Structure 1
Amino acid sequence: MAQSLKNCESAGQHVWLGAGEPGNHAYLQQGGGNRSCSPDLSLWSTRNFQAFANPEDALRNGGLQYYREDPDVERCRRAHRNDMENIFPFLFLGAVYSLLEPSPAVARIHFFIFCVGRIVHTVAYLLQLRAPTRSVAYGVAQLPCFSMALQILLAAAPYW
């Protein structure tokens, strides 16, 4: 097991994460591949559909016939990328907003609305639900962001 980890690291391609056999767990691609350690759904869809974006990954996992784009894998990757594009700014706003010492109940409401909106948006994206569902979920998730940003600006305005 440790030898497998050492082989992966010495090849400069993957870092093994988890216990058990490396082939059954998440890997962190170090060279700009289609996998990372956090998107378990992306990893699952890549492995399940046997579609790899890089020829070296396909060779390692069954051959060049798996070097292709699968629509389901690509949809999962786009959903993950979309989540990251929205969650990181929210985390920044939430951290700054928390420094303003808001009411814990109001802060919880902001965070809850954002989380529910993003979960619904991601599910709508992955399950290809009708168009207004995803747009409405996105809008709902953005409301707390705008509210927090406005409160941050109002708190900072007297110091300008």
Structure 2
Amino acid sequence: MARLQLKNVNKRWGSFVGVENFDLDIADQEFLVLLGPSGCGKSTTMRMIAGLEDVTDGQILLGDKVVNDLEPKDRDISMVFQSYGLYPNLSVYENIRFPLRVRKVPKDQHHDMVMKAIAMVELEDFMDRRPAELSGGQRQRVALGRAIVRKPTVFLMDEPLSNL
């Protein structure tokens, strides 16, 4: 984990302001919840942190490093969305394993890492099932397991428990 800071962050699309002059300082290993009405900028803020949206003005720091210009893959951040984003052709086990394959984690480490994540989200009995065979809550737990398995520096969760 690492300290995450937003300094005077703004997001605008033309004359529409999505986030304005937002400052935030989250300590290493701190848990923070953003709460507010629909349309207030919570998801946009998380998308900027993850690198899925560009920051119009301001800085996002991970540790002591400004990450504004880093690609999402280079930020070491896991994001779980309300819509699960699972691969329908892969089993629960393979969906959770997928980030390890993409990041080229040595194959001999995969099984133990996946099994720890599966245990954390209590899906041991569903490892061989495909997403279509799971309830909404189980699918959301697969998405959480996929984020957990790679041990990122920061976890972002955009309404991840809405189906649990």
**TM, length-normalised to structure 1:** 0.27
Question: Which of structures 1 and 2 has the bigger CA Rg?
Answer: 1
Greater relative contact order (Cα < 8 A, sep 6+): 2
**TM, length-normalised to structure 2:** 0.27
